Structure 1
């Protein structure tokens, strides 16, 4: 039974991305035309009706965010599209870049109309280098057809987009670190003395959104906020692009309505666990997300139910691990990633990741002690509450959730326990 939907993803693999005419035949740029008719207030009203929340992980209401941004004064304003998809197990944004770049451009331009901005930047991760030139080609085609650039559709509105490549740093997915990177500085998070909408890129008013959010905006204006809100649940309206991977028969990027269960995602959409093995756990939201035991797969994939159980949707990644996976081995791979990607700016993250990695290695090598288990949990909680940015705060999420749901697996790797058992 196919539980997926085609709303934001309806154009995937349906047209040649080097042909703007094919995109237009599919209804492309109808949302942009509607945006000029609606104006900023009308656009924001549609977003509020849709109840769209930021799809980059923060889940802040987009309509509210844009409304607040429009109240910021300034003669020069900037739009940023965050396509720095560096979260392990996350690849759904790549599908937007690869299979529907014009929709992303359309969404960014609508943001420009709303925020009265004439400049846009799309920050694409360095590992997607093969897509950089393709996206630049899409920008050029859009400009040649008067949907971007000077005097768009003879409205007098000007908006242009620049493609910016990251250097491969995961922390640049954080908006202020991304801004620092565009400015030519080391990609490290800023001290947030003011909102990005007030002082962002070059200290100018800046509206930054995840690429999926901007694609959703274009979709919502095309079909209407009320129509989009028909998908999902009462408190989690709409749809979500997910990245399904791991020990699963049908990995891939899918679009699902909120309210579907994790079990339906794994078995109806993903075709079940590979080789008929038993499901052991999931990791939701990428490397910074929690480990969810198989006993919780009847939970609905929506903000309310997951949040009530201490789980965040995050980037939309769903990694499936079967019974052949050891929890401590999995945590080692997660910890090695964060040790490598920590920018080193703050002590809790820099030293916390270093020390946790050392202790995790002792568990992997069956050399851990009871004291190690107490210490690793203490360090993880210090990182969670004292780190400067989201990387350090969420890096220990997998570890803390694993200790909660799989405590026995840690004891199995403790020397004294192994000797007495």
Structure 2
């Protein structure tokens, strides 16, 4: 039996590979208890009822201050961009360029379908009127999340884009790099509000002094902690959301051709996010498993956030999964339906075609998740906790509504009129049929 020093082992060799078995045995982050939901529910109700005053009280309690004005002044945004490190600015500008290029290619056009002479249905993709983008703070700073959320909204044609991000204790403003990223993108509506109260403010809006009143949005996107996720779950009766996100995760499928140092580095890069982050290796090679485990111990000990990484890698959500074959490994990866999937296997491009459940799939040794986090051109806001089996990555379509326009002539309606009446009678909805019959009998058709 293989033993590992740094990471716990799940041995699936000889096991059934049906989805039910795999879902129960694979390492997975705990979706959490209902505690955040119950904590957030009264806060949201208070914001809905009392508006700005409730947001201010929550900000004083959770952010440590309640400023006179929540909206960041335009000169603060400009100053942050002006003070931005030139290397960081160049990196953000390149990220914006690449994400925008991919988003533009994804933008759908109208589809006009002529079913018969005079019978036309046109499917339109209409942008949301107003969206709220949440950018988390806490353990790290996420100007990249400003880009990943704002660019597809802009490309989709959203007319009004607002950003909320937690204020920093020393300035009372969101982190300067977040402000700079917003300025580079031309987003001038930025709010220094964090946590669940930001989600409530976006959903319900509030009145305020001149220039400091927040209009409610139609869609809220962006990652956050368990309380942000709970708030998004509760407000989706009133607004659209991208997803209820859990801790970040990576699952790597590797064989004996993989470089164990590369694999370990990529597992660690995700473990760095959060003690609850999930880092999973799936392999049919015992020697590789042992080598990666050794690298995890060595690289993790040298990392700046060694304690956080060690907690993530030793958690029940992380581990090394041994399987009998690459075929079995593919089944495991698809059952896991991970946020990030990396393929360190021979002929990785061919294997990628068989990965049907994955938020983003990274092919080969030179496409690490870190590339996707920043500059691949793909989006890094992805489905977690197995929801990649049905959820989407954030993109242009997240900010579009599909609407259809029906345009039938009299002759085209006459052609299907009697069939509509027959279906209406079969469903015991005679008034539906009558709406067509009255036209037939009046000679309108």
TM exceeding 0.5: no
Give the TM-score normalised by structure 2.
0.28
**Largest Rg, 1 or 2:** 2
Larger relative contact order (C-alpha < 8 A, sep ≥ 6)?
2
